Structure 1
Amino acid sequence: MNVVVVAGSIAGSKTRTAVDYTVKSLKENYSDVDVTLLDLAEYNVQFSDGRNYLDYDGDTGYVARTLMKAEVLIIGTPIFQASIPGSLKNVFDLLPGDGLRDKTAAMIVTAGSARHYLIAEQQLKPILGYMKAQIVQSYVFIEEDNFYRREITNDDVLFRIDRLLEDTMVLAKTSAKIREAKEAEYDF
């Protein structure tokens, strides 16, 4: 199974810290998956201009094609100004409207305040749903006081990330079996 973990910002370190733990946990606990980390801070992604994602080249083409090949997406995002970063929204804009069909998507959200807890519900889930992703309903929300020197200091946060990964893999495998059974109904 092809899992892509996205660090959806070009600034800050907390989301990258959470995503790094996520990648480590995936590799330790799910040896049957291929894990790719896409940290948007490491790529020069141009603004979407409406072209087909296959028509982009360079970093933009690589990011878009990597997301389209994924079977599972784990999206890490900070909350800036009560919203997801423009860099993450731009990546979604590069993809077709149904570009997340048959992909399982989970979210890890970092924020400076508990007041931003519902941003994932109000902004990120609607985008993922519109793009036809199978969304893991729960997500991990991590506040600033759970980090110290680029480390997650709260064991409950680590437990919640591990649980999110378990829920994500179960949903992905279950959805794949359902699709396979549905396709087997066709006799051509």
Structure 2
Amino acid sequence: MKIVGIAGSIVGSKTKTAMNYTMEQIRKNYPEVQITLLDLAEHELAFSDGRNYFEYEGDTKYVTETIMEADAIIIGTPTFQASIPATLKNIFDLLPVNAFRDKVVSILVTAGTAKHYLMVEQQLKPILAYMKAHIVPTYVFIEEKDFMRKEIVNDDILFRIERLVEDTILHAHAVRGIQEEKDKKYDF
């Protein structure tokens, strides 16, 4: 199984801190899983211009192909102006409309206040559903107060991240099983 984590911003440290902890939990508890963390701050991405994702070059090609090859994706995003960052939206624009078909996608969000949870419900989940993702129903929402000196200091958040990892892997196994059953019907 391949899981790709996306740290969906080019600025700040909280989302990257949370995603590093998430990837470490996968590495520690599921060593058989192949993981890749795509920190968008470490890649030079072209703006989407309507081409197919495989026609891009360099970092853009690497990032989009890595996402397309994943069985599951954990999206980590900060909340900017009550919305997702443009860097993350650009990733969605670079990918085809069915990019997340048969993929499990889970969500981890950092925000300044609890009121920004609506961004997930009203913006991010609809985009993922439109792109055919199997969305893990629960997500982790981390507020400013849960961090201190670039570390998560709220034990409940750490527990919820561990649960998110477990739920992501369980959902990915379930989706794979469903797909195998469908394939058996058609003798593939």
Q: What TM-score comes out, normalization by structure 1 length?
A: 0.99
Q: CA deviation at 1:187?
A: 3.2
Matching residue of 1:181: 181
Amino acid at match of 2:21: Y
Aligned residue number for residue 104 of structure 1: 104
1: CA distance between counterparts of 2:34 and 2:131? 23
Name the structure 2 match of 1:121. 121
**Superposition pairs of residues 138-177 of structure 1, within 5 angstroms:** 138-177=138-177
Distance 1:103 1:187 in 2: 22
Aligned mates of 1:75, 1:183 — CA distance in 2: 28
SS in 2 for 1:81: coil
Alignment of 1:55-94 (within 5 A): 55-94=55-94
Q: SS of the counterpart of 1:48?
A: coil
The residue type paired with residue 120 of structure 2 is: A
Which residue of 2 is the match for residue 4 of structure 1? 4
Distance 1:4 1:45 in 2: 17
Distance between the aligned counterparts of 1:114 and 1:178, measured in 2? Answer: 36
The normalised TM-score by structure 2 is 0.99
> Whole-Å Cα distance in 1 between the matches of residues 36 and 169 of structure 2?
15
Aligned length: 188
Tell me which amino acid in the other structure corresponds to 1:99. Answer: A
Q: Structure 1: where are the runs of 5+ without partners?
A: none
> Following the alignment from structure 2 to structure 1, what is the Cα–Cα distance between the partners of residues 24 and 171?
20
Unmatched runs of 5 consecutive residues or more in structure 2: none
Residue aligning to 1:36 = 36
How large is the RMSD of aligned CA atoms in angstroms?
Answer: 0.7
How far apart, CA to CA, are the structure 2 residues paired with 1:32 and 1:181? Answer: 23
Q: State the shift of 1:142 in Å.
A: 0.2
Percentage identity across paired residues of the two chains: 60
Deviation at 1:118, TM superposition (A): 1.4
Opposite residue 45 of structure 1, the aligned amino acid is L
Query: Residue 106 of structure 1 aligns to a residue in which SS?
Result: strand
AA partner of residue 108 (structure 2): I
Cα distance in 2 for residues equivalent to 1:31 and 1:187: 32
